[in-house]
Amino acid sequence: MTMPQQLRYAAEHAKGFMPREEGLALYEAACTYGALGPICEIGTYCGKSAIYLGAAARRVGTVVVTVDHHRGSEEIQPGWAHHDPTLVDPRFGKMDSLPTFRATIAAAGLEEEVIAVVGRSDRVAALWNTPLSMLFIDGGHSEEPVTEDYEGWAPHIVVGGALVFHDVHPDPADGGQAPYRVYLRALESGDFGLVSVTGSLRVLERTRA
């Protein structure tokens, strides 16, 4: 399915780390699975990937719930390569991507499709009980948060729904290994089968409860 040009432009020019080809693959996956129920994204940052998901949600008639505490994962804190000083709230000396996210989604016209939940993924997961058509894991990339995101949220994916990982790098020279290890764990569980690979994006489908 072709993504509307205006939304594609908005996604490509939003602040974030999602390459265009991977974003379009994410959009296609959300179009394919989204009719089964709501989509959940773990790791919102400034809303780049939420535009791809929101555009798909609009097409198939569902919503995206995107979960983030908006204080930044480890790799975007001061002193790290992906740190953006413009996102630091000087009042508290902490990262705060929420205002930029809200502006991004409003400018894209997707406020009806994209629902922001502000909080830690593990805390929200403990309260969650709605079946999901698709789960996109793209939060903190160290071992603990990726594992918590998988363990807390993957059980809510319906059979026939999708589990999508970002920043899966089999070669350590290309990036951190935690998403790759948890991705392998999902495959080895026997609950999910690999559907597609686009860059560092992996789309898996739940094959059994």
Token pair for 88: 């630091």
Residue in the structure block whose two tokens are 């809200």 = 102
Q: Is 141 in the active site? A: yes
Backbone angles phi, psi at 126, to 5 degrees: -65, -20
150 and 187 Cβ atoms separated by less than 8 Å:
no
Which of these is catalytic: 141, 156, 166, 169? 141
The full DSSP string for the chain is -PPPHHHHHHHHHSSSS--HHHHHHHHHHHHHHGGGS-EEEE--TTSHHHHHHHHHHHHHT--EEEEE-SS--GGGSTTSTT--GGGEETTTTEE--HHHHHHHHHHHT-TTTEEEEES-HHHHHTT----EEEEEE-S--SHHHHHHHHHHHGGGEEEEEEEEESS--SSGGGS-SHHHHHHHHHHHTTSEEEEEEETTEEEEEE---
Q: Is residue 84 a contact partner of residue 58, using CB atoms and an 8 Å limit?
A: no
> Annotated catalytic sites, by residue?
141
